[in-house]
Amino acid sequence: MASADELTFHEFEEATNLLADTPDAATTSRSDQLTPQGHVAVAVGSGGSYGAEDEVEEESDKAALLQEQQQQQQPGFWTFSYYQSFFDVDTSQVLDRIKGSLLPRPGHNFVRHHLRNRPDLYGPFWICATLAFVLAVTGNLTLVLAQRRDPSIHYSPQFHKVTVAGISIYCYAWLVPLALWGFLRWRKGVQERMGPYTFLETVCIYGYSLFVFIPMVVLWLIPVPWLQWLFGALALGLSAAGLVFTLWPVVREDTRLVATVLLSVVVLLHALLAMGCKLYFFQSLPPENVAPPPQITSLPSNIALSPTLPQSLAPS
């Protein structure tokens, strides 16, 4: 019994000794923990701020990446900026392209030297609009001048010529390049040659090549037939030369027969456009040519025909 009690007391004494030692260790650990806690708090604050900065930087990086992706990806055709890229052109550039279309040179390719991979739709659109209205205006002016020379002709404004001019010019300037572009792509697919021009570049070539017709149409107001044909031939030559010089590098790698036929068709269509404009909008010349001879040859018969003249004038 006494030995058991002695054993019990011994254990308690050892426990109390251990506890007495443990508080010291605890206090030292507390003091150690306190200073690290202070550092940790400062680190947490600075770490938080650094973390926030890192997050902000990451967000800005993500935004930059998204912007780059958006820039790389072409916007859809249903957005306005898609079409805005087609009008990304300056005044000096448009004037330079107009000058290039007026003065074609054999070694200078219109697409490589003037468009430089940045075709625009401003020139083709407004050149077609200008040509349509100038055609209609000069056509009416021709009738006015004819009326002054011959009072028997009754002039009334031919406003429908605006519609005819607009439709014909725009159809020519956009459908012919479409057909040409399709044909060149088909030939490229067959022979896998040099890359042909894009559709926009083809529209630019045709649109700017029509500019030379604007002064030609104005000069057609001069009522001298041989001068009119001269101006027509000159404008047609300049315009067709520009087209041929530009299309030749693409076509020459094809077979000679296809190249010759293609260029001939291009020039022929251009000639048809010029002839059609002249014969439709300036068609008052043939009646004038027909009118004088019968008057001169049949002066006595005019007296006899005088009762019928009012009847002929009435329906006109």
Partner 1 sequence: MAEAEESPGDPGTASPRPLFAGLSDISISQDIPVEGEITIPMRSRIREFDSSTLNESVRNTIMRDLKAVGKKFMHVLYPRKSNTLLRDWDLWGPLILCVTLALMLQRDSADSEKDGGPQFAEVFVIVWFGAVTITLNSKLLGGNISFFQSLCVLGYCILPLTVAMLICRLVLLADPGPVNFMVRLFVVIVMFAWSIVASTAFLADSQPPNRRALAVYPVFLFYFVISWMILTFTPQ
Euclidean distance between CA atoms 174 and 290, whole angstroms: 38
Euclidean distance between CA atoms 241 and 104, whole angstroms: 7
Closest approach, Cβ 290 to partner 1, in A, equals 22
83 in contact with partner 1 (CB under 8 A):
yes
Euclidean distance between CA atoms 289 and 230, whole angstroms: 19
Closest approach, Cβ 125 to partner 1, in A, equals 8
Stretch that binds partner 1, among 68-76, 156-164, 283-291, 293-301 (CB under 8 A): 156-164
**Judged by CB, which is closer to partner 1: 101, or 140?**
140
Specify the 3-state DSSP secondary structure of 29: helix
Tally of residues, the chain: 316
Closest approach, Cβ 84 to partner 1, in A, equals 5
Applying CB under 8 A, which of residues 159, 189, 297, 311 lies at the interface with partner 1? 159
Applying CB under 8 A, which of residues 75, 86, 145, 218 lies at the interface with partner 1? 86
Binding flags for partner 1, 30-59, as an x/- string (CB under 8 A): xx--xx-xx---------------------
What 8-state DSSP symbol labels residue 196? -
CA torsion sign, 234 to 237 to 243 to 249? negative
Q: List Cβ neighbours of 87 (8 Å cut-off, separation of 6 or more).
A: 120, 121, 122
Applying CB under 8 A, which of residues 98, 102, 130, 265 lies at the interface with partner 1? 130
Q: Pick from 285, 314, 55: which is nearest to 149 by CA? A: 285
Q: Give the binding site for partner 1 (CB under 8 A).
A: 27-28, 30-31, 34-35, 37-38, 80, 83-84, 86-87, 89-92, 94, 122, 126, 129-130, 133, 137, 140, 144, 155-160
